[in-house]
Amino acid sequence: MDIHAGVIAASILIVIAAVLAMRAAIRIMQSARKLSFYSLRRMRNANAWRLFFLSLFLIACSVWLPVFGEPTIYTYFPPSLTPSLTPTITLTPTITLTPTITVPPTRTLTPAVSNTPTLTLTPYLPVAIEALFEGVITPNPDALFTALQFSTRFDGTNPIDPQTVFELPIENMYGGFDYNNLIPGVQWTALWYHDGRLICYETQPWNGGTGGIGGYTECTNPIGGWQVGEYEVQIFMGYDWKVIGRFILKESADATPTSTPTFTPIPTSTAP
């Protein structure tokens, strides 16, 4: 790699870092709105502004590096001439020998039984979500969550009239849970899936206590809107998944149902 290619590659990496910093700043500002304490919200917004200015600085660096940085580098490391190779004489064969005997192909044995690997159903974090982490990623192995309870209303402590089957239309969906043995500052993540497609997420350092009630995750205006089907919510602490909850959305009672929804048992994570 020459100096010019290195400068271009460095500029691209700086732009990517700037975009990630900008996205992290936006996510922190959005999460600060959920905080009820003014001092915590102010601290969170201050961190977001620092990331915002950092992204602006990185963008300026990505512009300065190819425009002014590359000529500066050449003043200290002047480019050297690359000698050109002298082509050598290529000998052209005059006689091509054609084989007279063709060896028949051998028979390849095909195994009667082949082992097909099975799919693993262990939840995992997408790489794009891991890039947004800003807290500690090593959780307490004894951290526990209760089963998720879903409702379209939340009174600040518990979901109101939790259910597993809902009817359209809805605007918000809450997944409530109780927790214990958590460590403040550990990154926690909630992923919302519809038929295997990620439609909503939130990830931030845990700002609650070590144990209590009233924990929740919220999804509003998911990608593609609320649609009929089965939804799955996965809760992670660091890279470890802790609990999974599912609910079903169906057409309103006035509409003619096209199929009968089925419900899959909910797996839960067992602390080692």
**Taking the chain (272 residues) in consecutive chunks of 10 residues, what is each chunk's mean pLDDT?**
79 88 86 79 85 88 81 74 56 57 54 43 88 89 94 91 94 94 94 94 92 92 93 95 95 65 56 50
What is the per-residue pLDDT for 239?
Answer: 93
Contact between residue 19 and residue 54 where contact means Cβ atoms under 8 Å apart: no
What is the rounded distance in angstroms from the CA atom of residue 23 to the CA atom of residue 48? 10
Closest-CA residue to 150 (of 206, 232, 209, 207): 232
What is the rounded distance in angstroms from the CA atom of residue 11 to the CA atom of residue 123? 35
Q: Regarding the domain delimited by 134-250, which CATH topology (the fold level of the hierarchy) does it fall under? A: Immunoglobulin-like (2.60.40)
Closest-CA residue to 199 (of 167, 231, 170): 231
264: its two tokens: 């899959």
What is the rounded distance in angstroms from the CA atom of residue 93 to the CA atom of residue 269? 71
What is the rounded distance in angstroms from the CA atom of residue 154 to the CA atom of residue 167? 17
Supply the pTM of this predicted model: 0.50
117: its two tokens: 């690997």
Residue ranges of domains in the chain: 3-76, 134-250
* Sign of the alpha-carbon dihedral angle for 61, 63, 68, 72: positive
